[in-house]
Amino acid sequence: MRQITVDQFRAELVAQGVSSHEHFAFRCPMCGTIQSGQDLIKAGAGKTFAEVERYIAFSCVGRWTGAGAPRKKPDGKPCDWTLGGLFALHKLEVVTPEGQTCPRFEPATPEEAQAHEKGQMP
């Protein structure tokens, strides 16, 4: 399990080099899809970034598109996974200044985030 501070998490997001925070991209730990706040808005999780912010890097976009459970092998399609369930299968925890650990999806690489913003990858 990788643990990073809030500041390190933010730095990884800024390093993605996307046009705005709505396009910060993350990888679902179960299905491997790259997704952003914009994807959650398009899927109907909310109408604005403020409405979907609580789901970003925590619940797969497939929860709003009718996707099924994660498959044994990622196939490029979203799933219905969330980090709020019984099983702790995440790969990243963000540690607050108070020492609280918060499970999160891993940030996408800068190349993945930029390609995702341009619609060049799922």
Neighbours of 43 (CB within 10 A): 20
Q: Which range of residues forms the domain containing residue 25?
A: 2-117
Is it the case that residue 115 has pLDDT exceeding 80? yes
Residue 71 placed within a domain: yes
Domain annotation covers residue 65:
yes
Helix (H) or strand (E) holding 36: strand 34-36
Assigned domain for 122 exists: no
Q: How far does Cα 52 stand from its chain's mean position?
A: 11
Q: How many domains does the chain have?
A: 1
Q: pTM, whole model, 2 decimals?
A: 0.92
User: Would residue 49 count as lying in a domain?
Assistant: yes
Per-residue pLDDT reduced to its tens digit, 49-94: 999 999 999 999 999 999 999 988 888 899 999 998 777 788 999 9
Interatomic CA distance for residues 115 and 41, integer angstroms:
18
The answer to whether residue 84 is domain-embedded is yes
Sort residue 21 into left (φ over 0), alpha (ψ -120 to 50) or beta. Answer: alpha
Phi first, then psi, for residue 12 (nearest 5°) are: -65, -35
Mean confidence (pLDDT) of the chain: 94
